Amino acid sequence: MAKLLLGPVLSFRGAGADGTWKVSALIGVDEGAGAPALSLEGKRAAAPVTLLRHQGRVYLRYDLSCKARKDERRVSYAIDGVDETWQFTVPAKGAAPRMAYVSCNGFSDPGGMRKLIKAENAVWADLLCNHDRQLRPADYALDREQLWHEAQIHDQGGQRFHLMLMGGDQIYFDSIWEDIKPLKRWIGLTRDEQLRYPVDAALEREIEDYYLRLYADRWLRKDRAPWGGGATPLDAAQAMARMPTVMMWDDHDIFDGWGSYSPEMQRSPLFQRLFHHARRAFWVFQMQHAIELLPPLTPRADVRVRDDDPLYAPIAWPRILAGDKLALPLLDGQPGFSFAHQAGPVSLMVADLRSERSQEQVMGPASWDAMQRWLAALPAGAASAPRHLLFMSSVPVVHPKLSLAEAFMDSFGQDHVLDSSADDLKDHWTNDDHEGERRRLVETLLRTARDKRLRATIVSGDVHVAAWGVVYRKDVEPADNWAQIQQLTSTAVVHPSLVSVMERLFFHVLDSVAGSAQTLDVNLSAEMMLFPGSNRYVMAARNWLALELDEGAGKLWASWRCETKESFTNHLLATDPVRVQG
C-alpha cells in the first residue's frame, strides 16, 4: 500500500487554446517504494516527472490535464495503493472559472492559536463544505446565501470552485529561528555579529533540509488521519487535493519580513542562504517545477547601481521551460516568478512581490517591463477578450496608512527578526518608500482597463482582516467605471485575526484611520470602504473569499465568508462590467 508523505497537491497550469484544462498533481513518497501509478477517469496517467529527490524521499508530478467540454464536469483521480478517490471540476469550454481565494495558511506564534474560539481548521472546513456537498458532515446546516449556490450548483451534481487562489503565506517558515539551534543563538548576537555570521557546510545542510522537509510536515501532517482512513479531516490538504491551486509566495514562505529589513541585513550571508533555499523549495512545492530547471539569480554586471535594491539579470523563462509541457506561463525577461493566465472572460495576473523586494523596492525594472508587456498584449474588443482582470497582490494596495507608526518604527533604525511590527509596516504598498511604485501599479491597471475595455480588480491578503477598498480617478465621471479599481482583501484562513488585547487596540486604530481617503496624485485617490454588511472598514475575523462571474450580466461577484463565534457570515459585493464613455 502506497504511503503518501505529501499531497496530492493540485496545480492549475493554464487553459490551452485547444480547450485543454491543464492540471498537475504533486505527491511525495519514499524513494525506495517507487512511483505509484495514478489513474484519471479510470485510465492510467502518464509516468510522472521527478521534481526532487532528497534524503530518501522523491517528489513526483503527474499530468491530470483533460479537455473542457460544452458543460462543466467532475473529474475523478486515484493513486494506486491509496484507498481514496479525489475529484475536481473542469469548467465548460470558454467559461470563466469559479474561484476561491485564501491566504495565511499557518501561524507565526503557536501561542496565538490557543486564543481561537474554533478549531484551527474551522475556516478550511467551511470552505470545503461550500465547495463539495459530498464532504459535509451529516448535521451540516445551510444558510440563506448558501441555498442559492445549492440550487445553482450542488443540486446539479457540481462542485462550487474550479480553482483555488492562494495569495501568500501558504507555509510559515518563521519556526526556523527556533528549530535550528545556530539560528536561535544568532538571535542573541550583536547586530555586527549577525551581519558577519558565516554559514558553514553543516549549517547549510541543516537549512536546506529544513526548507525541503517542512512542506510535507505542514501540508500533510503526521498526526492527521491517513487518506482512506475514513474520518479524513477537512483541512488544507483536503482542499489542495480537490481544487487546482494558483500559488504565489509572500514573506512567511521565506521567513517573516523577508525583503523589508535593512539593506545590510538583506545582504548578510545568513539571510542570503535562507532565501536561496526558500526559493528552491518554493519552486518545487508551490510552482511544481523540477529543481534542476531553476536558474540562479544573477546580479546584473552591465550597469553600476547602488546595492540597496536587488537588480538581477532577466531570465528567459520560456526558453528554460520549453521542454516542460506543464510549465507555468512565467513572464519572459523577469528574474522573479510572476505569471499570468487567461481563462475564458477572466485574466489573472499573479505578481511576485518578494524575489526583488527591498525596503524601497517591490519589483525590479525587468519585472515591471515584463508585466506591462503581457498586459499590453491582452486582446481587446473580440468575443474572446477578457472582461475582468484579477491582479493578485500578496500585500494590499489599498489599506489604512499608519504614518505615525511608520515614523516611530523608522526612528529605531534596526532589524528585529522576531518582532514583525516594523517589517509589516515596511511591507505595505502604502509605506512612504513604496508610494511611487504603488502609483505606477495603479496607473498601469487603469490604463489596461481603459485600453482593453475591462474591469481591473486587486485581490490581496497578508493583513489578517477582511476588507474592501477602491482606488479611482477623480477627473473621470463615475459612469466611466474603468477608472475605478476594487480591492478585495481576504485573510486569514488559519492565522488568528486580531485577538489579543494589543491587537484589538490596533484594530480600533486601524478602523479609525481607514475612514480617511488617501491622495495618491492630483487626480488619483484611494479609499477604504465600509465592509459589505458591516459598520466597520475592516473585519477582524478569519475568512475566505469566493470570486464568481455572472456570465449573463457580466458582474464579478465577491463573497466573503467570515468566522464568528457561532457560525459564518456572508458579505457580498458586485463589480459591474466595464463602461467606457466615448
Q: Model pTM greater than 0.85?
A: yes
The predicted structure's pLDDT at residue 370? 99
Cell numbers given for 132: 463539495
pLDDT per position as a tens digit, 224-263? 999 987 788 999 999 999 999 999 999 999 999 999 999 9
The predicted structure's pLDDT at residue 279? 99
Residue 415 scores a pLDDT above 70? no
With beta carbons less than 8 A apart as the criterion, state whether 57 and 31 touch.
Answer: yes
Count, residues in the chain = 582
Residue 72 scores a pLDDT above 50? yes
Mean predicted confidence (pLDDT) in 168-189? 97
Mean pLDDT of the chain: 93
> Omega of the bond prior to 8 within 30 degrees of 0, cis?
yes
SS3 442: helix
Please provide the DSSP assignment of 519-548 as one string. Answer: EEETTEEEEEEPPTTSSSSEE-S-EEEEEE
In the structure, what pLDDT confidence band is assigned to residue 409 with cuts at 50, 70 and 90? very low
The predicted structure's pLDDT at residue 46? 97
In the structure, what pLDDT confidence band is assigned to residue 114 with cuts at 50, 70 and 90? low
Residue 411 scores a pLDDT above 60? no
Neighbours of 58 (CB within 10 A): 20
pLDDT per position as a tens digit, 115-166? 677 899 999 999 999 999 999 999 999 999 999 999 999 999 999 999 999 9
Residue 111 scores a pLDDT above 70? no
The predicted structure's pLDDT at residue 168? 98
Residue 27 scores a pLDDT above 50? yes
Residue 408 scores a pLDDT above 50? no
Cell numbers given for 166: 492562494
pLDDT per position as a tens digit, 306-337? 889 999 999 999 999 999 999 999 999 999 99
Residue 38 scores a pLDDT above 80? yes
CA max distance for the chain: 67
Mean predicted confidence (pLDDT) in 79-90? 97
* Ranges of each domain in the chain: 6-575
